Amino acid sequence: MEAQESFHHALKFKYDLCIGCSHCTECCPTAAIHIENGRPVLDDNRCIDCGHCYLACPVHAIYIEQDDFQTIYNYKVPVLLCPSIFGSQFPDKVKEKDIVAAVADLGFRHIYEVEQSVDVIKQLLSKKMQDPDRGMPVISSFCPAIVRLIQVKFPSLVGNLMLTKPPLDLTALYIKKHLVETQGVAPEDIGIFYVAPCAAKIAAVKSPVGDEKSPIDGVINMNYLYNKVLRRIKQGDCPPPPADLRMNILSKDALLWALTDGEISLLKKGRNLAIDDVHNVSTFLEKLENEDIDDIDFLELRACDQSCAGGILCANNRFLIVEKQKYRAEKSPAEVTVKENGLLADADYLDKHSKVGKVEPRSMDKLDNDISVAMRKMEKSISINKHLPQIDCRMCGYQSCKEFSLAVGSEKTDIKRCVFIQRILEQNARLSTEEALQIAYQIWGTDKFNPDNIADLAIE
Amino acid sequence: MVFEYPVQGGDFTNAGTVSSKVKKMMRQLGVDAGVIKRTIVALYEAEVNIVAHAYKGVITVQLDSDKIYIKLDDEGPGIPDINQAMQRGYSTASPEVREMGFGAGMGLPNIKANSDVLEVHSVVGKGTTVEITNNF
Ligand SMILES: Nc1ncnc2c1ncn2[C@@H]1O[C@H](COP(=O)(O)OP(=O)(O)OP(=O)(O)O)[C@@H](O)[C@H]1O
Ligand code: SF4
Ligand code: SF4
Ligand SMILES: [Mg+2]
């Protein structure tokens, strides 16, 4: 059975800002975007929320949905849950205590770092790797864009995904339990707000893959909070935060977890690889699927270059984040005790709640549910593609000649959208200039064809 | 639908490209993931056998709505004793080559295990034909 309902996406388009340039169409690793009427159209079943389009858009017409900051005040005990790289966004002059004070002043009652549960997760990981029936290779499910990439593009590898909750979910579970049990806070008074470094994490919170409901109550974009906190710090005179509002001490391993090599450096045995950047990951999985590579025990795969330090919502340069994060790790203890990290006392509880449900494959390639219909569409696409020029100019509004041929073969669009086919038809008087223009309007809208556009140009 | 792909003996860098293309097409047709996997394992091993043991070859893939038929035709030394070649662990690879981890003699047995119907014909000094059929 394949999951039917489509993914929730955190990436949205601001159509009023969009200039219809199709850069987003070009860079998408799953060819999820095509252009219609001068605007991008997203295929919800293909998009993996990797955020490449967000980076490619020249006019910031793509944004990442987040919750209204004001919703933190709906809770008596608003809790900020940030990835540890949040601290590495700031200029060196800004100290941890300044960040904490500003966070308190913004209205948060507690601050926790996501990786607090890494010290529990690393036990689960080594237990998993000792299991003789684990299958080869085990693929980390830490990066949600990768989990989705595997679902849509490499469905045969879905069974290799490690079905353990990521640090975010486990730390959030701990926070709720801890505040309820030790401080007598009513569960409904606790609002956990997650500071997201990327769109994929937000999408995963809003519709968890293979899971029921996320323990997170709201999300805030990391660059948004960074601006807010930095501004508050620059205004000066932040009152000192309450004594129990402080960062916990994290272990070295925990601080390095979200960087490239973070997971595999904990595995002492076997062949374990870390690969970052979604294109690198795709190339590797393609090879893996053909059984070209055997004997690999564990794969740490991340969609962003430099892993989460390269998250699209980071405020600082990825290499500077890595540097800063490693510096902090160097000064941190190799192991922390339950005194420093209270979460360790609840290790058994978290262990019990660490499993996620089954992840379903949802192949994006399938042309039809009926195989003979799929066959017909495929045949048609292949023959169409043979007659296309293969220059991938995107004038048809699709990413490539190949993608366009699939859309035509599946009767989703018209072959006449190809400008080369149009020229041939015009040559044979089978298409009028007016008709060709109408097709161009359908794809690119009318603005780009306004005669005024050439008024100032001295065209002979 | 019938497709033909040439394969060059000795070209290890490109071994696996035919498997990739066939995999993509089977996915477009919505073939069961288990059947795709079996087919790709069999095809990949057979493709590598041409690259490793023959001079050159042609892979013909015929896709129908109920099955896939793959014929791998090569010009090469041929296999003198097919029954023997089909045994697990049998390989003509030299000890040095085995030392490097190649020539485990698992290719043909794996092809057998992953095809519904397998036929191997060979003429020594001329070439080998491997035919794989998997039903959907
Ligand atoms: N296409 C071919 N042409 C000539 N000889 C072949 C061909 N395919 C297989 N053989 C012979 O059959 C033997 C067994 O093949 P098989 O694929 O099982 O093992 P291998 O190729 O030697 O090792 P492995 O596939 O495990 O790396 C080979 O060693 C080779 O001598
Ligand atoms: S987020 Fe990624 S998958 Fe989604 S549309 Fe953008 S580039 Fe494509
Ligand atoms: S990149 Fe996409 S969203 Fe941004 S302006 Fe161009 S077409 Fe519009
Ligand atoms: Mg072989």
What's residue B14's pLDDT?
87
Residue A226 near residue A213, CB atoms below 8 Å: no
Q: Is A209 exposed, middle or buried (0-12, 13-18, 19+ CB in 10 A)?
A: buried
What residue segments make up the domains of chain B, in order of their start? Answer: 2-135
Of A290, A367, A378, which has the smallest distance from its Cβ to B19's Cβ? A290
- Taking contacts as CB-CB distances below 8 angstroms, the residues of chain A near B25 are 378
Rounded to whole angstroms, the Cα distance separating B20 from B10 reads 19
- Taking contacts as CB-CB distances below 8 angstroms, the residues of chain A near B66 are 371
| Segment B13-22, tens digit of pLDDT | 888 889 999 9
Ligand 3 neighbour A40 (Cβ under 6 A): yes
Q: Which class is A371-454 in CATH? A: mainly alpha
Ligand 4 midpoint to CA B110 (Å): 9
Q: Percentage of chain B with pLDDT > 70?
A: 100
**Protein residue with least CA distance to atom 2, ligand 3:** A24
Contacts of A21 (CB under 8 A, 6+ apart): A58, A59
Q: Which class is A11-62 in CATH? A: alpha beta
What's residue A210's pLDDT?
66
Q: Determine the residue type at A289.
A: E
What are the beta bridge partners of residue A219?
A194
What's residue B95's pLDDT?
83
Of A156, A366, A379, which has the smallest distance from its Cβ to B1's Cβ? A379
Instruction: Give the CA distances from residue A15 to residues A20, A26, A36, A59, A62, in Å, rounded to whole numbers and listed in that order.
Output: 9, 18, 12, 11, 9
Q: Determine the residue type at A443.
A: I
Judged by CB atoms within 8 Å, which residues 281-300 of A form the interface with B?
Answer: 286-287, 289-292
What's residue A6's pLDDT?
65
- Structure tokens of A95? 């100290």
Which residues have any ligand 2 atom within 6 Å of their CB? A 11, 28-30, 32-33, 42, 47-53
Q: What is the pLDDT along chain A (460 residues), one digit of tens a residue?
A: 334 456 789 999 999 999 999 999 999 999 999 999 999 999 999 999 999 999 999 999 999 999 999 999 999 999 999 999 999 999 999 999 999 999 999 999 999 999 999 999 988 888 888 888 887 899 999 999 999 999 999 998 999 999 889 999 999 999 999 999 999 999 999 999 999 999 999 999 988 766 667 899 999 999 999 999 999 999 999 999 999 899 989 999 999 999 999 999 999 889 999 999 999 999 999 988 876 677 899 999 999 999 999 999 999 999 999 999 999 999 999 999 998 899 999 999 999 999 888 888 888 999 999 999 999 999 999 999 999 999 999 999 999 999 999 999 999 999 999 999 999 999 999 999 999 999 999 999 999 999 888 888 888 7
Judged by CB atoms within 8 Å, which residues 112-171 of A form the interface with B?
Answer: 155-156
Instruction: Give the CA distances from residue B59 to residues A49, B21, B132, in Å, rounded to whole numbers and listed in that order.
Output: 38, 12, 11
> How large is the ipTM?
0.87
Which residues have any ligand 1 atom within 6 Å of their CB? B 49-50, 52-54, 74, 76-79, 85, 90-93, 102-108, 128
Nearest-by-CA chain A residue for B66: A371
What's residue A3's pLDDT?
42
**Within this chain, domains A11-62 and A371-454 share the same CATH topology:** no
Nearest-by-CA chain A residue for B136: A371
**Protein residue with least CA distance to atom 8, ligand 2:** A28
3-state secondary structure of A398: coil
| Segment B55-108, tens digit of pLDDT | 999 999 999 999 999 999 999 999 999 999 999 999 998 888 777 777 889 999
Nearest of B60, B59, B45, B51 to residue B109 by alpha carbon: B45
Residue A214 near residue A8, CB atoms below 8 Å: no
Ligand 2 midpoint to CA A188 (Å): 35
CATH code reported for the domain at B2-135: 3.30.565.10
**Protein residue with least CA distance to atom 4, ligand 3:** A57
Q: What is the dihedral of CA A175, A177, A179, A183, to 10 degrees?
A: -160
Q: Per the CB < 8 Å rule, is A290 touching B16?
A: yes
Instruction: Give the CA distances from residue A27 to residues A54, A407, A410, B88, B94, in Å, rounded to whole numbers and listed in that order.
Output: 10, 18, 23, 46, 48
- Taking contacts as CB-CB distances below 8 angstroms, the residues of chain A near B40 are 289-291
**Nearest-neighbour CA in chain B from A366: distance (Å):** 4
What's residue B13's pLDDT?
87
What's residue A52's pLDDT?
95
For A36, phi then psi, to 5°, come to: -140, 125
